[in-house]
Amino acid sequence: MKNQIYFLVLRLLNFIINLMFFHCIKNKLLRFLNVKLSSSATINGRVRFFGFREVTVGINSCINFGCYLDNRDSIKIGDNVSIAHDVKIYTAGHDYNSNDFSFVKAPVEIGDNSVVFSNVLIMPGVKVGNGAVILPGSVVTKDLIELGVYGGVPAKLLRMRAADSLNYEINYKYWFAN
């Protein structure tokens, strides 16, 4: 019964958060729910949370429409990070090799100036290096190096990003962005 109440409260909070399209009101509720959100960061509509653990979103970072944040462990998103629509960040799962299918979790960190394109899956325990790029549809199972451009299933290093390509600021506060 305790788990059912937990999931009901979580579903209700996700519903309320996603009804709010004014960022200032939504951000106050998110901060109340243990989301450390920079004043210049944006979390757009239809983002789902899966727990009440800490989520940190840095300066000028943007999480777009339809993302899934499995915050059963902590998620740290650096400054000036772009996370496109329908990205799923997982911090927990089950050990399929254990004899009791035990629950395991590990935090996820996404470094400053990283770009995560649409429909990417990031698995528990992954650290994305500063300035890394993850191409659409990739599945990230291991740590990514700084300025690496990754793609595929599982994500593999394809090339390096130019270090001088990081001279921009993300400013994406559109109320009705899809």
Q: Show the domains of the chain with their CATH numbers.
A: 2-165 (2.160.10.10)
Measured torsion, CA atoms of residues 66, 70, 76, 81, in degrees rounded to the nearest 10: -20
Q: Are 136 and 118 in contact, with CB atoms under 8 Å apart?
A: yes
pLDDT of residue 174: 58
Task: Report the range of poorest mean pLDDT among 19-28, 119-128, 135-144, 145-154.
Answer: 19-28
Residue 31, pLDDT > 90, answer no
- Model confidence at 154, pLDDT cuts 50, 70, 90, reads very high
pLDDT of residue 173: 62
Q: What's the pLDDT tens digit per position in 58-84?
A: 999 999 989 999 999 999 999 999 999
pLDDT of residue 164: 87
Work out the burial of residue 69: count CB atoms within 10 Å of its CB; fewer than 13 is exposed, 13-18 middle, 19 or more buried: buried
> CA 7 to CA 5: how far, in whole Å?
5
| Lookup result for tokens 């001088």 | 164
What is the 3-state composition of the chain as percent helix, strand, coil, each rounded to the nearest 5? 15, 30, 55
- Catalytic site residue 94? yes
> CA 156 to CA 9: how far, in whole Å?
38
Out of 94, 156, 159, 173, pick the active-site residue.
Answer: 94
